[in-house]
């Protein structure tokens, strides 16, 4: 079992090693803590709001997002995950879930029973701090979104999110040159920014006309990183990618 898991852990290890050294022993411990994989179709719930998970899920394939449903029936997206991200590592210590996790595209996750994770935290302080670190980066991303939203205009917000998503994909070794695959609609992208579909589309068109990005279907290319980062006032510090930010 641990053997099969190792292949699935590639993006996670890549992400971790973008900022930390990770020994073979630690990799083995993480692989041993893993349980089963599960698949979800697009638009399915990976974790249900209000539930009390007994496992934490590592996204192995696909794109997922945190969401909360509001009284008016709309759904607000408050976070996004790429391969190699734990979608609910916090659920080990925080229950019940105050939000749901939605598969934005078809997704595969690797589940880590809390039982196993707790065992790790009992015996391995260094690995514990590493897991803690991952949740802290998550929080840093939330903070950055808060600053961007309200502090920048639509164009800046979109630019900021695109810069972030590009770097996160790259840290998990999911980019091909300046191109990456983002399996979500413009509407969902806009939802994450708190914008309407129409406004989102206009912003994307503007970024295209400026020659900063190309966005065809699910393929996004960063054509002018410097200008995009400038527009979004993007400072990658918060992603904690000591390596791989280059």
Nearer of residues 55 and 220 to DNA, judged by Cβ: 220
Please give the helix or strand (H or E) that residue 69 lies within, else none.
strand 64-69
Burial of residue 66 (CB within 10 Å: 0-12, 13-18, 19+) is buried
Which residue of 51, 108, 135, 201 would you call a contact of a second copy, by CB under 8 A? 135
Q: Which stretch binds a second copy (CB under 8 A): 31-39, 88-96, 163-171, 208-216?
A: 88-96
> In what side-by-side order are the strands of the sheet with 37-40?
37-40, 107-113, 55-61
217 binds, among a second copy, DNA, none (CB under 5 to 8 A by kind): DNA
Residues 35-54 that bind DNA (CB under 7 A): none
**CB-based contacts of 29, cutoff 8 Å, min separation 6:** 120, 124, 127
Nearer of residues 154 and 179 to DNA, judged by Cβ: 154
Neighbours of 83 (CB within 10 A): 25
User: Residue with structure tokens 């699910």?
Assistant: 218
225 Cα distance to chain centroid: 20
Quick note: the x/- pattern for DNA over 168-207, rule CB under 7 A, is: -----------------xxx------xxxxxx-xx-xx--
Residues 146-185 that bind a second copy (CB under 8 A): 146-147, 149-152
Nearer of residues 121 and 154 to DNA, judged by Cβ: 154
Q: Please report whether residue 48 would count as binding a second copy according to CB under 8 A.
A: no
Instruction: Render 47-61 in DSSP notation, one character per residue.
Output: E-TT---SEEEEEEE
Q: Please report whether residue 215 would count as binding a second copy according to CB under 8 A.
A: no
For residue 177, the minimal CB distance to a second copy (Å) is: 27
User: Residue with structure tokens 């527009």?
Assistant: 231
As a whole number of angstroms, the distance between CA 130 and CA 148 comes to 27
Q: Please report whether residue 139 would count as binding a second copy according to CB under 8 A.
A: yes
129 binds, among a second copy, DNA, none (CB under 5 to 8 A by kind): a second copy
Neighbours of 16 (CB within 10 A): 22
Q: Which stretch binds a second copy (CB under 8 A): 5-13, 74-82, 100-108, 214-222?
A: 74-82
Contact (Cβ atoms closer than 8 angstroms) between residue 88 and residue 20: no
Residues 185-204 that bind a second copy (CB under 8 A): 193-194
Which two tokens mark 159?
Answer: 């630019």
Q: Please report whether residue 15 would count as binding DNA according to CB under 7 A.
A: no
Q: What are phi and psi of 211, to 5 degrees?
A: 80, 20
Task: List contacts with a second copy (CB under 8 A).
Answer: 50, 66, 68, 70-71, 74, 76, 78-79, 90, 93-94, 96, 98-99, 121-122, 125, 128-129, 132-133, 135-140, 142-147, 149-152, 193-194, 233, 235, 237-238, 240
């Amino acid at each position: 079992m641990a053997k099969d898991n190792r292949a699935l852990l590639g993006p996670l290890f890549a992400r971790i090693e973008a900022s930390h050294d990770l020994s073979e022993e630690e990799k083995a411990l993480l692989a041993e803590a893993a349980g089963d994989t599960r698949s979800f179709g697009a638009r399915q719930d990976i974790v249900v709001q209000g539930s009390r998970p007994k496992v934490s899920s590592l996204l192995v394939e696909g794109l997922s997002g945190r969401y909360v449903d509001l009284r008016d029936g709309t759904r607000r997206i408050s976070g996004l995950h790429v391969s190699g991200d734990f979608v609910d590592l916090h659920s080990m210590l925080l229950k019940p879930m105050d939000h749901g996790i939605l598969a934005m595209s078809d997704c595969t996750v690797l589940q880590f029973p809390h039982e196993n994770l707790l065992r790790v935290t009992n015996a391995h302080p260094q690995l514990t701090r590493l897991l803690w670190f991952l949740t802290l980066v998550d929080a840093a991303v939330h903070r950055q979104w808060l600053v961007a939203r309200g502090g920048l205009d639509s164009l800046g917000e979109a630019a900021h999110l695109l810069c972030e998503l590009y770097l996160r994909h790259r840290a998990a070794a999911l980019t091909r040159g300046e191109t990456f695959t983002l399996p979500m609609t413009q509407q969902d992208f806009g939802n994450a920014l708190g914008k309407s579909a129409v406004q989102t589309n206009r912003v994307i068109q503007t970024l295209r006309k400026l020659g900063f990005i190309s966005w065809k279907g699910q393929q996004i290319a960063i054509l002018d990183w410097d200008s995009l980062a400038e527009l979004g006032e993007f400072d990658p510090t918060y992603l904690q990618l000591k390596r791989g930010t280059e």
